[in-house]
C-alpha cells in the first residue's frame, strides 16, 4: 500500500455555496426584479452572457470573483449581501470611513494653516 502524502484540501461547504448563491440571487431580484431587462442590466455591469446572468438571477449557478466585484460595484444590494455573508458589519465600515474623513479634514486644516502663513 502506498502512503498518501501532500496537502489535504478541504471542501468549501456546499451549504455555504448554496447560501451564497441564494443570497446573491435574492439581492439581484430585490434591486432589479426578474424581468428580461434585469439580465440585460447584469450583462452590462459584468460583461457576462445572458445565460450566466439568468443563472445568477435564478440562483442556480454560483458567480465567480471578478463578476461578484463588478456586481457589488454597481449594486448596493449585492454589496450588502456580500458584507453579510462575510460577516462584516457595515457600521464598522462606516466608522472607518468617518475616521478617514476626520483625518483628511485635519490634514486639510493643517495645509491651509501652512499655506496662509
**Domain segments of the chain: what residues?**
14-86, 89-117
pLDDT by residue (tens digit) across 60-82?
Answer: 998 988 999 999 999 888 998 99
Sequence-ordered list of residues with C-beta below 8 angstroms from that of 55, at least 6 positions apart, any chain: 61
Element (H, E) at 85: helix 76-85
Whole-angstrom distance, CA of residue 66 vs CA of residue 99 = 29
Kindly tell me if the per-residue pLDDT of 115 is higher than 80.
Answer: yes
Percentage of residues in the chain having pLDDT higher than 90: 51
Give the C-alpha distances (Å, rounded to integers) separating 81 from 64, 68, 76.
Answer: 15, 11, 9
At 4, the pLDDT band (50, 70, 90 cuts) reads low
Coil, helix or strand for 88?
coil
Amino acid at each position: 500500500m502506498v502512503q498518501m502524502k501532500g496537502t489535504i484540501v478541504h471542501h468549501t461547504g456546499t451549504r455555504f455555496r448554496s447560501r451564497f448563491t441564494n443570497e446573491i440571487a435574492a439581492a439581484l431580484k430585490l434591486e432589479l426584479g426578474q424581468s428580461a431587462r434585469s439580465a440585460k442590466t447584469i450583462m452590462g455591469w459584468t460583461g457576462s452572457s445572458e445565460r450566466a446572468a439568468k443563472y445568477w438571477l435564478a440562483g442556480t449557478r454560483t458567480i465567480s470573483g471578478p463578476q461578484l466585484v463588478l456586481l457589488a460595484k454597481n449594486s448596493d444590494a449585492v454589496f450588502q449581501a456580500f458584507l453579510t455573508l462575510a460577516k462584516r458589519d457595515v457600521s464598522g465600515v462606516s466608522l472607518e470611513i468617518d475616521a478617514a474623513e476626520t483625518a483628511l479634514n485635519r490634514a486639510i486644516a493643517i495645509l491651509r494653516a501652512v499655506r496662509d502663513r
